[in-house]
Structure 1
Amino acid sequence: MELRQLEYFVAVAEEANFTRAALRVHISQPGISAQIRQLEHDLGTTLIDRSTRTATLTAAGEAALVHAREALAAAAAVRNAVDAVNQLVRGRLVVGMVTACTVTGLFDALATFHDAHPGVEITLLEESSDQLVDRVRGGDIDLALVGTATAPPDGLEAFPIIRERLVAAVPPNHPLAGRTGVALTELCDHAIVCMPAGTGIRTVFDQACAASDIRPDIALQASAPDTVADLALRGLGVAILSESMAAAFDGLTALVLDDVEIPAVLALVWKSAASPAVRELVRHTRRAFAEAEAPQIPAPR
């Protein structure tokens, strides 16, 4: 008795027809008939009644069908278990990260995962958040650290790491310096320096401006927050950053955007139907952030 014979038997039982069953399991009709005859010979009884055009089960066939299905399910479970182990022994993970973002917790997770599963090849790449989300959905990237205005993005699972409000950061000689907050309408009377479209920070800012029917003057764009901050320090515009980004640069005063309530979110995202390796890395990431006593996490891009 072989597993393929049980597979053919189940197919005939469910299709009630040898020809349709043969098409389903990709074998010729004479081939499937011969294999089931061999199965019947091995069991010493007839399983399929062939006296009519419809293939029906005999009493013995009815009794055998339940166990045939169980045997096939058990074989599939064995195969899946071995495949899962193999993915953690010699698999590959592609991890995405927003450009110019340094997140200690993620790096710690990658290190502990590599120690536990040294045979898994890890590839790390940087792109904008919207590109990373698209590539996770498309399967090019297994999981990614992204900035977003919402978490999780549609169709993905997510582990949110931090949520922060946006601020307007200005140098000491700027007309807005000395204040604690500013409304979007007043802010947009000034030139703006911000991150490019497709980043989490920019998405939040654009959504807030659109909701108030405001068209800001985007004077300069840069993908790295330190570049945005440096341009603002040189008087080239008001920097749109998160609270933690602005706090990292001496010489800038952060003003709360009074009418922007949407937080920028930094989150790890992955597809629901993830591989065992992805699930294992997510577990390591959760542990890394949980064990960090005071993590210094840059805000989302």
Structure 2
Amino acid sequence: MVGSLQDIRLFVAAYEERSFTVAAQRENATQSGVSQHIRKLEQRFRVALFSRDKGRVTATPAGDAYYRACLDVLRAHDAATKVAQSYGGGLEGEVVVGLMPTMTRCVLAPALARFTSAHPNTAIRVVEGYSGTLTHLVRGAELDFAIVPGTAAIAGIVSRLFMRTPEVLVGSAAHWPRRTMEPVRPAELGPLRLVVPSRVNTRRISIESYFASNGVAIERLIELDAMFGTLDLVGRSDWVAVLPGIMVAGEEEPTNLLINPLASPSLTLDLVLIEPARRAISPVAGAFLAVLEEEARRINSRWAAPEATYRAA
């Protein structure tokens, strides 16, 4: 025997949290109960799955291997359960997804309108946040999925590329002497007063590295982890910001904003889909994800490749 589903769930929680106490909180169990279940597994297999040192637990090589196999078991069980439940009627249920402002500004509304019209017996809850918060919620299986910038692999999470979108320079039409949608080369940019996200945002490093490696002087920096505040500031001043193209590709962008793709070289952002590794995506969540991807591709298609635009000019 490989252990009951309860044994496996508690082991996976302890492995991902590196703490029996936190695992117990996550699984609504007791710390002693988690410890007993894992001790039972170790006695059954006659091998240590964790090393224990002053309240900290670290997986052994056997624990690492068992964890990977347990994810397959939990995902298969979850998928089998959902298949059986799908015969009970039409598409229904709740979807809880995590999206950054990058996705909520232009993509979310048309996706919601389409999905809720086609599936009125569903409930959708959207949690808006930045990548660190959303990743934590996905790992705890509090979200069906989330869309975040690309990052390193994380235990308890599976991921795949969702889409690639260009990073664009956004400024005020009253202060920026260019036409909107006209690509700009870094070499053409003078000293910039630049609005950037804080260092907890994974895009901060790529933005600063891009300007530094292309010799663009930064006159001043201001940190804002507020997308709508950023748009308001750049729309009424000589400050500029670098934002994901999909976020400012709506059909009716404010006329006070000037939007220019960066080119020669271009700067892009990879957005990835992340899901809990131990749980298969539900049919209703999968259906909403499909609509979200279709709307994202439609909106993102507004951007021509900046390099190609320059070559054609």
Identify the TM-score tier after normalising by the shorter chain. Answer: 0.5 to 0.7
- Mapping for residues 114-193 of structure 1, pairs under 5 Å: 115=120, 123-146=125-148, 148=149, 150=150, 154-155=153-154, 156-158=158-160, 160-161=162-163, 163-174=164-175, 176-177=177-178, 180-184=182-186, 187=189, 189-193=191-195
Q: How many residues align?
A: 219
In 2, distance between residues paired with 1:213 and 1:283?
45
Q: Contact 2:97/2:127 (CA < 8 Å) preserved in 1? A: yes
1:24 aligns with 2:44: yes
Q: What amino acid is the match of 1:208?
A: Y
What secondary structure sits across from 1:94 in the alignment? Answer: strand
C-alpha distance in 1, partners of 2:292/2:85? 24
What is the aligned partner in structure 1 of residue 37 from structure 2?
none
Q: CA deviation at 1:198?
A: 4.4
- 1:231 Cα deviation after fit: 1.1
3-state DSSP of counterpart to 1:261: coil
Contact 2:94 2:284 in 1 (8 A): no
Question: Using a 3 Å threshold, how does the CA distance of structure 1 residues 91 and 251 change in structure 2: closer, same or farther?
Answer: closer
Q: 1-side partners of 2:159 and 2:249: how far apart?
A: 29
Distance 1:133 1:113, change over 3 A: farther
Let me know the Cα RMSD of the aligned residues. Answer: 4.7
In the alignment, the residues of structure 1 paired with residue 212 and residue 86 of structure 2 have an alpha-carbon distance, to the nearest angstrom, of 45
SS in 1 for 2:241: strand
- With structure 2 as the length reference, what TM-score do the two structures score? 0.51
Unpaired stretches in structure 2, ≥5 consecutive residues: 1-39, 46-75, 303-313
Mapped partners of 2:143, 2:296: distance in 1: 30
Equivalent position amino acid for 2:138 in 1: V
Confirm or deny: 8 A CA contact 1:105 1:285 kept in the other structure: no
In 1: Cα distance, 2:222 partner to 2:190 partner:
11
For 1:208 and 1:285, the matched residues in 2 are separated by 32
Deviation at 1:112, TM superposition (A): 7.0
Q: Distance in 2 between matches of 1:127 and 1:263?
A: 21
Q: Whole-Å Cα distance in 1 between the matches of residues 79 and 245 of structure 2?
A: 46
| Amino acid in the other structure paired with 1:24 | R
Structure 2 equivalent of residue 96 of structure 1: 98
Correspondence list, 1:203-214, <5 A? 204-209=206-211, 211=213
Compute the TM-score of the two structures, normalised by the length of structure 1.
0.53
Give distance in 2, aligned partners of 1:288 and 1:112: 14
Residue aligned with 2:266, SS: coil
Cα deviation digits, residues 201-259 of structure 1 (max 9, x gap): 545423424655878432352422x4323211221411322345177221333333235
Which residue of structure 1 aligns with residue 267 of structure 2?
A: 262
Q: For residue 239 of structure 1, what is the aligned residue in structure 2?
A: 241
The separation in 2 between residues aligned to 1:193 and 1:293, in whole angstroms, is: 25
Q: CA shift at 1:143, angstroms?
A: 0.8
Q: Identity of paired residues, percent?
A: 17
Determine if contact 1:104/1:295 at 8 Å carries over to the other structure: no
Match of 1:141, SS state, is coil
Cα offset, 1:266, TM superposition: 4.0
Deviations 1:157-197 (A, max 9, x none): 23514x32222223344365469454446647121124444
SS in 1 for 2:194: strand
Q: Distance in 2 between matches of 1:273 and 1:293?
A: 27
CA distance in 2, matches of 1:183, 1:79: 50
* Distance (Å, rounded) in 1 between the aligned partners of 2:195 and 2:159: 32
Structure with max Cα Rg: 1
